[in-house]
Amino acid sequence: MTRYLSNLALGVLGAFLVVATFAFAVGTFATLMFAIAIAATLVGLGMAAGIHDRAQRGIGALAAVIGAWTIVASLVFVPVTALWLGFASALGLAGLAIVGLTVHELTVDRVVHSLDVAPESAPRQRERVAA
């Protein structure tokens, strides 16, 4: 459940930042980019430290690197350049979330419960029980 929620959080953060790129003014976007980058870095570090699955840990580490780079980009570059760097980071986070959710669904830990029901037309064999 933690893997799913972590990947979903990365996806929501990335998708919101993609929309915010063109929905808000450049100055407002730079502030949002900084805040979302901090959140993405924390989620990524949490995934890298707390999840035992190797693929999910790698996704968490990449998300932390993208988040840290986005923090630096939001503080160092002029707002217009930061806009496009933030857009690229948002696409990267959203892509990692899609990969993470896909990996989560394909893991061996995902158990599918099924019932083995014999059809009604199949003859039943009865065992004799000694009384």
Reported as type and span, the H/E element at residue 62 is helix 54-76
pLDDT mean by block of 10 residues, the chain; 131 residues? 85 93 90 94 90 85 94 91 93 93 72 50 60 58
- pLDDT value of position 13: 93
Supply 57's token pair: 């840990």
- pLDDT value of position 113: 42
pLDDT tens digits for 6-32?
889 999 999 999 999 999 999 899 999
- With beta carbons less than 8 A apart as the criterion, state whether 21 and 89 touch: no
